[in-house]
Amino acid sequence: MKRSILFFLLAMILMCSVYAVADENDSQSMYFSSSYFEEGVSANMKVRAQQTVLMTGQQFFGSNMLQRSGFNQNQMSNMQSMKNGNMENMRPQNTRNTVPSVIPSQNVPVDLVPRMQQEMIDREELRDFLKDNTLMMTGVSQFQEYVTPYDDAMQDYLEDEDLNDKYNIYEAAVSWIWVSDSTLNNKQEAWITPAEFLTETPDYDSNPVSGEIVSDCEEQANTLVSLLITSGEYDESTARVVIGQVNFGGSSGGHAWVELYEGGEWFPLDATVGPYYDDDTSKVVYPDDYEDIDFYYFQDEDYSVVDLWYYYNNEYFMDVSSGTGNAPDNWNDTSSSY
């Protein structure tokens, strides 16, 4: 009788431990390990306890006790997976694009997801931030100061890396490593020029991947547009940076990406689908097969935009909500990928 009670208590410890981890990792993939048991419990007793969970759970799962006990739908779904012995499927819903911070490996299989700045300040705050922190030399908006296709550093980069067409340029851009402003600049928001991004960030003391070109979405978008215009593949009427709010994998945040105009239509191009620095694990994550991402990928796939804020490059600017600016007529068109 005492051993039965002990097994039952161990079973309940196992169940509670698993779902305590589920709550703590609401946006992370789940994993299952015997390490959740107290030290000193024999391996045989652990196995017996797991068996007890699965056997005694038959009636528990079949009743409405889960809901009455306060478990949410995701937790109940995970518990059902445990009942069926399917531990690999024990993960929260709507997290297909989330990279688990508990994974020690640098190469992980994840779906194609741009790295957004979830803590990015909102539309008006961003505009005011640039007004306060940018000396405007040309154009109609401070945003334009960060697209610099005629800076010598752009041509030097193309030559040094032997980038002779748009496909090579995008391949190089995808290799840049996304690092948050909070890590790289110890600020919520910070903008630097393409030249500084390419030539100086590898030597930043704060760079967690010393020697590599690093920064977040706006630097990568501004620099990618600059390089594409420098190369002659596109001009100011057919290449622009977009700032807006996106939603990927259930996570919404501010983001910067590129749009290109071909065949009478705009399509998105995003440099941040490649490697990124995970602040939680202090590791660079390299998504599987990111180097094989096609230049026209988002021409055929949905790009989940919630709201468009601004379009710009070195020559043109447009406030999307008001339609004001100095942009050409084709800038009024919106990509069909949204």
Mean pLDDT of 32-52: 39
Chain segment 87-131, per-residue pLDDT in tens: 333 333 333 333 333 323 344 444 555 665 545 678 888 989 999
Q: State whether 40 and 118 are in the same domain.
A: no
Q: State whether 145 and 52 are in the same domain.
A: no
Mean pLDDT of 279-285: 94
- Domain presence at residue 229: yes
Q: For residue 325, give the CATH number of its domain.
A: 3.10.620
- Domain presence at residue 107: no
Q: State whether 146 and 180 are in the same domain.
A: yes
Mean pLDDT of 64-73: 37
- Domain presence at residue 98: no
- Domain presence at residue 191: yes
Alpha carbon separation from 60 to 74, 126, 156, 261 (Å, rounded): 16, 52, 67, 58
Q: State whether 84 and 164 are in the same domain.
A: no
Q: State whether 133 and 258 are in the same domain.
A: yes
Q: State whether 290 and 145 are in the same domain.
A: yes
- The reported pLDDT for the residue numbered 137 is 82
Q: State whether 163 and 25 are in the same domain.
A: no
What pairs with residue 242 in β-bridges?
257, 311
- The reported pLDDT for the residue numbered 59 is 41
CB-based contacts of 188: which residues, under 8 Å, 6+ apart?
Answer: 119, 120, 121, 181, 182
The answer to whether residues 163 and 169 touch, using CB atoms and an 8 Å cutoff, is yes
Q: State whether 289 and 147 are in the same domain.
A: yes
From 34-38, 79-83, 162-166, 307-311, the region with the lowest mean pLDDT: 34-38
Mean pLDDT of 313-326: 96
Residue type at 68? Answer: R
Instruction: Find which of 100-109, 246-255, 262-271 is predicted with most confidence, using mean pLDDT.
Output: 262-271
- The reported pLDDT for the residue numbered 233 is 97
What total of structural domains would you count in the chain? 2
Helix (H) or strand (E) holding 219: helix 217-231
Distance CA 338, CA 333 (A): 12
- Domain presence at residue 39: yes
Distance CA 299, CA 337 (A): 6
Q: State whether 78 and 130 are in the same domain.
A: no
**Burial degree of 54 (CB within 10 A; 0-12, 13-18, 19+):** middle
Structural domain span for residue 156: 113-332
- Domain presence at residue 157: yes
Mean pLDDT of 273-290: 92
Distance CA 275, CA 220 (A): 12
- The reported pLDDT for the residue numbered 76 is 43
* 281: phi then psi, degrees, rounded to nearest 5: -100, -10
Q: State whether 326 and 204 are in the same domain.
A: yes
- The reported pLDDT for the residue numbered 114 is 61
> How many CB atoms lie under 10 A from the CB of residue 20?
11
> Which residue spans within the chain are E strands per DSSP?
107-108, 177-178, 214-215, 239-248, 251-262, 265-269, 276-278, 283-287, 305-312, 317-319, 324-325
- The reported pLDDT for the residue numbered 189 is 92
One DSSP character per residue, 13-40 reads: HHHHHHHHHHHHTTTS-----GGGSPTT
Mean pLDDT of 155-173: 97
**Which tokens belong to 86?**
């399917």
**Which tokens belong to 299?**
């021409």
312 has pLDDT over 50 = yes
Q: State whether 42 and 184 are in the same domain.
A: no
- Domain presence at residue 338: no
- Percent of the chain, pLDDT > 90? 54
Chain segment 189-241, per-residue pLDDT in tens: 999 999 999 999 999 999 999 999 999 999 999 999 999 999 999 999 999 99
More confident residue, 143 or 124: 143
- The reported pLDDT for the residue numbered 179 is 96
- Domain presence at residue 101: no
Q: State whether 221 and 312 are in the same domain.
A: yes
Q: How many helices (H) and strands (E) does the chain have?
A: 11, 11
Distance CA 166, CA 227 (A): 9
**Domain C-terminal end among 32, 54, 89:** 89
